[in-house]
Amino acid sequence: MNPELAAAAVNQDEAVIVHEGQAFLAPINAIDPECVELACNHEGCALIKDDGNPDNDIHVQPTAAATSNDPAFNDDWVSF
C-alpha cells in the first residue's frame, strides 16, 4: 500500500481525506495517490490535495535508515 494512504488510513478500507477544510472518510481504493499528499498535526494524519512540491512528500527508506536518528542516513529526518 502507498505509505501516505497507509498513514491516513483509519482501517483497511478507509482513509481520512480533507477537502475545503472538512474531513471525510473515503474508500482507499477510490483515492488516487498521485493526487494527494499526507498532512499531519497533533490530532493525526489526513490526505490533502497534492501541492506539486516533491520536497515535502514521504520518501520510503529501508528499515535501518528509517529508524536512524542520524540525518546522514535519513534525508527525511526533521528536528522540531
Residues ≥6 apart with Cβ < 8 Å to 29: 13
Q: What is the pLDDT of residue 58?
A: 74
Residues β-bridged to residue 18 = 23
Q: What is the pLDDT of residue 62?
A: 67
Q: Phi and psi dihedrals of 56, rounded to 5?
A: -110, 20
CB-CB contact of 36 with 47 (8 Å): yes
Average pLDDT by consecutive 10-residue portion of the chain (80 residues)? Answer: 92 95 95 93 92 80 56 48
Residues β-bridged to residue 48 = 37
